[in-house]
Each structure stands twice: as structure tokens, then as C-alpha cells.
Amino acid sequence: MRAAPTILHLDMDAFFAAAEQASKPSLRGKPVVVGGLGPRGVVATASYEARRFGVHSAMPMGQARRLAPNAAYLVPRFGFYRAISGQVMELLGRLSPLVEPLSLDEAFVDLEAGGVADDSASARAAGERLRRDILAVTGLTGSVGLAGTKMLAKIASEEAKPDGLVLIEPGTERELLGPRSVRIIPGVGPATGEHLRRAGITTVADIVEAGEDELVRLLGRAHGAGLHRMALGHDDRPVVAERDAKSVSVEDTFDVDLHDRLRIRLEVERLAERCVARLRGSGHSGRTIVLKVRRYDFSTLTRSETLRGPTDDPVVVREAATRLLDLVDTTGGVRLLGVGVSGLADYTQEDLFAQAEHESAAEPGAVEAAGADAVVEAPAAPASATETAERRWAPGHDVRHAVYGPGWVQGSGVGRVTVRFEEPGSAPGRVRTFAVDDPELAASDPLPLVEGGAGAAA
């Protein structure tokens, strides 16, 4: 543990949703939800306004719509987010050569290695300067945590949200952590938390009081000893520059073993959606889909399938994961399910055959809209050429009209597309509706959030 709080953790505030609000003046201060808008889509990010209704990341989109029916629901623009992330990471690189990105909107920085901080005062000054620079360059806010370890710096940034800075002075760790839930410690998920609760351990202070031997008995040597060290505030993990992720995965442990095959399949599909959200958030795609199944007797099986090229398409990953499930005997029950993607790349080669199959299986005339004034009834007729054209007008995506200039799609349906014409620095714009094949309307690159800033191709 360092004697000075020179490890910085930056976490951008509701990043995807905040970027959408900044680029769309009519959505500022309103609930915005970004994610997959299909029937099996999940929330990638919810604005703070949407979170007041109970919407949160990884929630099924259908549940989010029930909680916040009047929110704006947008599909992600990952190219746009990557461009903003690049600006933020460049600012972090000016502070230190040791920057460890965790995703597009989150990173650790070793301020001591950059020579910009060696005590609390200089660390705080560097953190405040960073927050000002991010706002000036991107128009967005980020929360900063400063501490002597990575674990505590991340906890501090959570405390700082939204748009704040929290510094944890070395020596105060146990006082800070003691009353907190065990879930605040990295690696303590729902299953471990429940296991500890049954043993009467619910706070970090309880972990310390239980002692290392008892934790080892409960959780095993590696997990128990590591948990005890972190509860004492000890975390020796260094900041590693150019962190190279090998895979992205998510998994869930169930309180009661799953026996119903349909329920198991639905859980695998949901995990696949969450995995893709995390994959995209890290700015990657991948070639190999991995399914993990831990059965009732604690035996663990893994199955994998390697695609022809890297993908970040949720349909492709979901279908591959369910194919792998067909190869696994779940008789007797399932305790844990996981879906992962490995063989990561920073580009995507679309699986056109899988994509075409998905589109042909989609419900004819399905409509997705952003905002109540853009909802349209879709016909229950077979898909026509016009309806096929509508699919390219995704809610939230950028367009440009030959007469009205730049805008974004609010919704489409019944051969029409509704566009709100506004720019990041403008007042809320007017809404107009066009035929989906209007020759004067075309897809466009996003405009920069700050005048003079770098744009991005979505």
C-alpha cells in the first residue's frame, strides 16, 4: 500500500447515455436508455434520470420499458463512443505513462509514475485538473477516485458519482471499509456474498473479525486469504499499461439449481446479451464463443465454437451459445451458467449469414422508436421492400437532410421516418417526418460534442 493516494481511478458518468444527451439537446435532463431494443435486448447504460425509475445496466429492455415508458430508447453508437473514449484516454496519457484502461469509460492511472503527484495535495490537484480537462474536451463529466491502492481508488470513484472527486487518505482504509457490505470487496459477487451471510458475515468489519483461517475454511485458500487482505485495505496490484484483455465473460450462480431446460436456455441467452454489452464496452469483438456450465454435482463443463471472423453481434453470440448448450447434458440441475468471448480483436467482421438469418426471422414490420412522439403502429403484413428500408433508420442514429441539415432518428414505421433536427450546441430542434426512401435524407457521421473536437464515424 502506498503512503500517498497516487493511484487514480476514472469512471465516466453514465457514459453512453451522457454522450447521447450531449449530442441531442432535446434529451438533456430527460431519461435516456441505451441498449438493444429488440425483445431480448438488455440495457447497456441508463442516464441518471432513468435510474430514478429503477432502470439499470444489464436489465432486460422489456423491464426497463415498463419502469420508464416515457424514456428515450436508443441503439448504441459504438464508433461515436470510441472516439470520445480516445479523447479521454489521451488526457490520461498526459498524466502518466501507466494508464490501464478497463473499458471505454473507465481506467486506472499511476500518478506517481507520471511525476505529477507524490502527496495528497498534488494528487487532488491532478484529479481536479483532469475532470476540468475532460469537460472542456468532451463536454462530459467523469468521477475520480484517489487512493493508495487500486481497490480503494475504484471504491472512491463510486463514492464520487456523479461528477465528483473523492480522495481516501492512506491509514483511514479500515475505518472507511469496516461498516460497508462485503459486496464492496472485488470478487465478492451474489453467490459469495450469500455464502458469507449464512456464516454471519455481512460487513467488511465482520470479515476482519472472522480472521483468515475462518475465511479459508469457508471459501478456500486463495479466495479466503485474498479476501482477508482486501478487507484490511491491502491490494498490491500495480497499474498495468496497455492492459491486454484475453477474453470477456459473464456468469451467474443460482441460489436454487435450474432444472427446466427452457429456463436454462433463456438464462444462456440473457448472459450472451450481457457478455456482448461488456465486449462492446471494452471496444472489442471476438471469434470464439465459450459456454460454461456447472452442474448440480459441482462438475464444470465448457464448450466452445470458433466463428469465421470476430463479431460483436448479439444475435451471433446468442445463437452460438445456445448451440453449445445443446451439447451439454443438464440432467440433474445446473448451479452456474457463463458465456464468454475470446480471441479478441479491435474490429468486427460481420457474420452476414447469421445476420441475414436473424433478419428474415424477425417479426414483420417491427418498429422501435425513441420518445413518445415517435411511436408508430406497425402493419402486421409480410415484410415489404419499404419495411426492409426502415430497418436502417435506427433510433438515435445520425442523419443529414439536404434542406434541414443534421439530425437524428427518433423512430420509424409504416414507410415513414421521424427525424429531430438539432446539433450538440444548438437549442432543441424541430421534428419532421419523411418517407423512408426520401432521396434527400441520408445516414451521417456524428458531429463532435465540443466545437472543434474530433468527430467519429459510427
Active centre residues (catalytic)? 106
3-state secondary structure of 182: helix
Spell out a b/e string for 71-109, using b for 16 or more CB atoms within 10 Å of the CB, else e. Answer: bbbbbbbbebbbbbbebbeebbeebbebbbbbbbbbbbb
Helices and strands in the chain: count of H runs, count of E runs: 16, 17
Length of the chain in residues, anyone?
458
CA angle (50, 103, 288) in 5-degree steps: 110
Cell of 160: 464520487
Torsion-angle region of 391 (φ positive above 0: left; ψ -120 to 50: alpha; else: beta)? alpha
Whether the CB-CB separation of 442 and 419 falls below 8 Å is answered with: no
Kindly report the number of other CB atoms within 10 A of residue 237's CB atom: 12
SS3 422: coil
Q: Are 6 and 147 in contact (CB under 8 A)?
A: no
Going by C-alpha positions, the residue among 441, 444, 437 that lies closest to residue 458 is 444
Q: Which three cell numbers stand for residue 52?
A: 430514478
Instruction: Identify the three-state secondary structure at position 195.
Output: helix
| CA-based nearest residue to 70, from 40, 45, 49, 44 | 49
The C-alpha atoms of residue 330 and residue 295 are separated, in whole angstroms, by 7
Is there a contact between 295 and 334 (Cβ–Cβ < 8 Å)?
yes
Fill in the amino acid letter for 320: A
Cα 30 from chain centre = 20
Helix (H, G, I), strand (E, B) or coil at 432: strand
CA dihedral sign of residues 380, 383, 387, 392: positive
User: What are the backbone dihedrals phi and psi of residue 253, each rounded to the nearest 5 degrees, phi first?
Assistant: -105, 135
317 contacts 350 by C-beta, under 8 angstroms: no
